[in-house]
Amino acid sequence: MDSVNKGALFVLSAPSGCGKDTVLSFLKERDCNVKQSISVTTRKIREEETDGVDYYFTDVADFEQKIQDGYFLEYVKYGENYYGTPKKKIEELVESGYNVFLKIEVEGAGNVRKIFPDCISIFIVPPSFCALEERLKGRGTETEESLDRRLKIAREELSRAKEYDYIVVNDKLDDCVDDVCAIIKAEHSKYSQMKDFVDNL
Amino acid sequence: MDSVNKGALFVLSAPSGCGKDTVLSFLKERDCNVKQSISVTTRKIREEETDGVDYYFTDVADFEQKIQDGYFLEYVKYGENYYGTPKKKIEELVESGYNVFLKIEVEGAGNVRKIFPDCISIFIVPPSFCALEERLKGRGTETEESLDRRLKIAREELSRAKEYDYIVVNDKLDDCVDDVCAIIKAEHSKYSQMKDFVDNL
């Protein structure tokens, strides 16, 4: 990868409970030049969150102005809250050679793919559906009802796995992160990425 | 990769002097389930070679019978000598979960691609054309004339790099082998390879 300085845009999705946050935070510690794109949201900041790290927090008026200004690569509204992905920042990071990761749900991933057809999309899946159920239960934060709802959504999301370039199983975290690193490395060896290098030989 | 036991067929090419033999021998030492497919040839065995390791050595009559029998995935004749790739053996190894590597020149790679469109092709290139020239000179086995011929062929081969899925630079051997391992790993995370796993979730 030394000889090629172009970055790439990666889209990372996973059903809730598959550990995509943990995978991303471990990935950023590895030697693969990963930056996570930080989304903008209008939802209230939680106690454990930091503005500019977890999200950029803003108000509805500012968010809606940004929509008008074409600031977002994509945005969605869940209930009362907006979530958006800043476009220019991503382009700048990719230009500077970073492998920019967007953590995004299945619907948003589809929108990003339309705008950046070259993006590389990775879907993290649990080793089994039972394991997913166990993990969600293990959190201890789900009621019977919210668990059922999450599992139903997970099934729907899993049925859209075919929209992704890569499927990575999160059984052992380190193996999962290894697999994502391998994907990043391999993508940089793709002919399309290496074309300029070969032409200059 | 634990959860998927299907292997894959990889085609490895490189201009002469790019170190594909060394890359392959190091690759076989890594933990990525690689087997090299051994070709059949009618050329004379060299002192340093072992039958069944470097090639399967046979005579012209046997080779031509094997052609009739559809034994080869592809074969070529260079001067007086035949070289062929046994088809069934490869299929068996892939079925058993091996990542089977075919070391093959550019022309042969094209033939393999026609028969196994799913094969993954990797082209190894030198860090620079000067470096290639230096390596060939360094061997001390080339005359001015044979060096010129090799470099001319190398240029022609490099112009066909675009036929390959991946381009890997062999600057530092370990990095080059790392890159090939990453490609193997990433290919096993492709949706097409993971489809059955996801469907069973």
User: C-alpha distances in angstroms, B125 versus A7, A199, B14?
Assistant: 21, 11, 6
Q: What residues of A are in contact with residue B198 (Cβ under 8 Å)?
A: 125, 158, 161-162, 167
A117 lies in some domain: yes
A81 lies in some domain: no
CB B183 within 8 A of CB A187: no
Least reliable range by pLDDT among A56-60, B15-19, B62-66, B83-87: B15-19
Average pLDDT over residues A175-200: 95
- Minimal Cα distance from A163: which residue of B? B191
- Minimal Cα distance from B199: which residue of A? A159
Write out the residues of chain A at the interface with chain B, using a CB-CB cutoff of 8 A. Answer: 1-3, 122-123, 125-129, 158, 161-162, 164-169, 171, 175, 178-179, 181-183, 185-187, 189-191, 194-195, 197-198, 201
% of chain B at pLDDT higher than 90: 62
A1 lies in some domain: no
Other CB atoms within 10 A of residue A82 CB: 22
A83 lies in some domain: no
Give the model confidence (pLDDT) of A27-67 as tens digits: 999 989 999 999 999 999 998 889 998 899 999 999 999 99
DSSP per residue over B83-110, as a string?
A: EEEEHHHHHHHHHTT-EEEEE--HHHHH
Residue-range definition of the domain harbouring residue A171: 8-37+98-200
Contacts of A156 (CB under 8 A, 6+ apart): none
**ipTM of this complex prediction, to 2 decimal places:** 0.85
Q: How many domains does chain A have?
A: 1
CB B53 within 8 A of CB B38: yes
Comparing A58 with B105, the larger pLDDT belongs to A58
For residues B176 and B124, give the distance between their C-alpha atoms in angstroms, rounded to a whole number.
Answer: 9
Q: What pTM was estimated for this model as a whole?
A: 0.87
Average pLDDT over residues A177-200: 94
Q: What residues of B are in contact with residue A161 (Cβ under 8 Å)?
A: 191, 194, 198
* pLDDT score for B134: 87
Contacts of A5 (CB under 8 A, 6+ apart): A97
| Cβ within 8 Å, pair A198-B161 | yes
* pLDDT score for A140: 75
Other CB atoms within 10 A of residue B81 CB: 13
CA A118 and chain centroid, separation: 15
| Cβ within 8 Å, pair A189-B167 | yes
Rounded to the nearest 5°, which phi and psi values hold at B120?
-110, 120
| Cβ within 8 Å, pair B162-A198 | yes
A29 lies in some domain: yes
* pLDDT score for A149: 87
Interface test with B, best of A130, A189, A196 (most B CBs within 10 A): A189
B27 lies in some domain: yes
| Cβ within 8 Å, pair B186-A187 | yes
For residues A20 and A104, give the distance between their C-alpha atoms in angstroms, rounded to a whole number.
Answer: 10
CB A85 within 8 A of CB A13: no
B130 burial via Cβ count (<10 Å: 0-12, 13-18, 19+): exposed
| Cβ within 8 Å, pair B126-A167 | no
Nearest in space to A137 (alpha carbons), one of A128, A146, A124? A146
Q: Looking at residue B111, which CATH number applies to its domain? A: 3.40.50.300
Q: What residues of B are in contact with residue A1 (Cβ under 8 Å)?
A: 179
A77 lies in some domain: no
- Facing residue for B128 by CB, picked from A128, A195, A201: A201
Q: What residues of A are in contact with residue B17 (Cβ under 8 Å)?
A: none
B50 lies in some domain: yes
